[in-house]
Structure 1
């Protein structure tokens, strides 16, 4: 079997994969899409990508056989950049075991109650003077804007703001609960910087 040369580019919603198989016969090309696996076969040539860096939607993914290459469109289940095709990074759409000892059982993650969390944080929040915190009041207009935006928002908007800000490590603030409520919010550091988790 010959492994084919390939390259890709991506957006937050999908990944476009180019497989360089010149003169491929559409009748002979076999492609299979699975949530974390992609397989391409044509005669003695093949390309298997597993595990994919993130989960795809097999029903929406498709391909086109051209004269020089085969173009494959992988539709992502969770929006965000992968950076690479394969990797054993945790899949944000899959629940994981709570400990190494229970690797055979899948444990369903407990849903967070974003309403309760919001109420708790707001009840604890007090005005801080610049004397107590040098960062307070540094950009009062911006702080006031977000405070007012939050105070005037409906429940879904508040939940979206809390969830997006909390899960993205403060790098994303969304008011769209329809989008944010579906999956964990990815960390998106500013361009030119890299996100690192500090060990506790």
Structure 2
């Protein structure tokens, strides 16, 4: 028995083996495909490749007999380059299964939207408005507070606020007209400070 000359080229999906057997009779050529083996026979010529570097699909693999060579197409079970026809390397299928989708029907864990949760917490911890705390937000918030207080007040309360504020030089603000309406409101500077009238 003689071993015919042969060569191959491959893609990730398929390996094509050319067996140079000039004038081979298609009726006499025999090619056996096995998952990790290939046997080519024609008369006294025989080429046996075992174990193949990777696993093939015997059902999809085929061959054609030409005038100069027999072309054998091996369909790979797992995508990737072999680099050699035969090899004792472990079956690539055991290391790289073709099934990439999970076979279990376990429900996927939903990912928490941490950013949304953080924004929600921060939103609920907003700074107190001037309605809730007159000291919040500085002078602008204080002004807003007094404007709202003045807008919601009755006529006597408004008069008391204006009179007390003007007469005290801005040091007192009273909403009690019964008290403010009877007498002049004294200037009461904050403790530790002295009130001075600005020269016009």
Q: With the length of structure 1 as denominator, give the TM-score of the two structures.
A: 0.48
TM-score (norm 2): 0.48
Q: Greater CA radius of gyration, 1 or 2?
A: 2
